[in-house]
Amino acid sequence: MTRTFFHSFDPPASSPVSGATVDLEVSEIEDAGIREVLQTPGAAYGAWSILDALLTPTGAGTPFVFREPLGQAREVKVALSGLFGRFVARAYLERYFSLSIFAHLGSRTIDLDRRRQVKITRLSRGDLPDWIACASDLSSLTVAEAKGCHDVGGPAKALDRAWAQARRIDVTARGRKVTVKRIAIATRWGMATAGPADARLSVRDPVEEGEPHTQEEKDALFIGMLRLHIANLIKPLGHAELADALRGLTLQSFPRRLEGETQRARSLLDASPVRDVDKASAAMDGLIGGIVTRAGPLTDTGVEPADQEALSRLNLRPVFVGVEHELIRAAIDAEPEAIRSRLAEKGSPDGFARPDRAGGWIIPLGQQRRIIGGT
């Protein structure tokens, strides 16, 4: 179901849409929420699965308006606003900026390729932005921060805070700044009762030019981001060792150690259960991943088809979240052209599965659709 937000963009000439509103499908926001919750450290509970039930029951193409305020206490409102704000912002970035690879930033700086000195550099104290992200062709390096708010006056103050956060890092290679787009996104929620009546999505989006870099340095940057994107996604799905090996590849500064870590990652990938989708077309390769429900991920890779049907009947909304096996291999082997080739845009093979343009798939289970294999 399509929902709309009043949309403001700075600078206006760079807006990805024409007109005063921007559209997002609720399914796009929920899929972004699944990926976001899995990739963020902490409890991977199914917060995305309650979104549609909280919205006003109007038809397609209507405003993104909640039935009631997001809680009574300010602490609850702030927490839920921040959570849903991240879901909406990621869906917006995925759809309108074609970003698909997201590396999450915590309180520390991050090495993307220690051997080539490609890293995130902190510029000032305070919380770091939510993501560095790029497109599936390993381009459009973006630093992004999302805020949600419930202020009657609008999202201007939240946008200012988001912009300050987006400016707290640089991406550097051998000490030289890399060209980045910085995006700050603030969402003010609409409420059917006791609150502002409309939803607003505000964006600030300049590009900051960096210094010249070699193609090798650029490829190392994006491969590091892809490794972190995959590692953060598969770790809560029962593949912690493989995830740690992928992260370890970004930290090796000596060729011999890098060679050893690369071989270890390949061995762990070969030992990981590869799952297939029953009755899927050849467009979908074998997947490394796991089943996620409203209650969070199921790390047991041996969930039988009958169990998958039972989870669906109990309205736990089971989905399989997975990454293509051969893309993980290309990320381990640091093959930029193989990665670009595999990440060339794909359509959904038969209308039921939802690709994310980063080698990942979200596949609803039940109704004769099952995950099979596992060896």
pLDDT, averaged in runs of 10, over the chain (375 residues) = 87 90 89 88 56 62 66 60 86 96 79 92 90 94 90 83 93 93 89 69 87 91 96 93 95 91 97 78 74 79 74 81 94 95 70 82 76 61
Residue 335: predicted pLDDT: 94
Cis-peptide into 12, omega within 30 deg: no
How far apart CA 6 and CA 63 sit, in angstroms, is 8
Residue 139: predicted pLDDT: 93
SS3 (DSSP) at 234: helix
Residue 284: predicted pLDDT: 66
Half-sphere exposure at residue 355, Cβ-oriented, CA atoms within 13 angstroms: 20
pLDDT tens-place string over residues 22-75:
999 888 988 998 898 889 866 555 555 556 656 666 655 676 676 666 655 555
Other Cβ atoms within 10 Å of 161 Cβ, number: 17
Residue 195: predicted pLDDT: 62
According to DSSP, the residues that pair with 118 across neighbouring strands are 113, 173
How far apart CA 202 and CA 8 sit, in angstroms, is 5
Residue 367: predicted pLDDT: 64
Global pTM reads: 0.87
Residue 133: predicted pLDDT: 96
Ranges of H-type helices in the chain: 26-39, 51-54, 74-96, 156-166, 215-234, 240-249, 255-271, 305-313, 325-332, 336-342
Residue 69: predicted pLDDT: 61
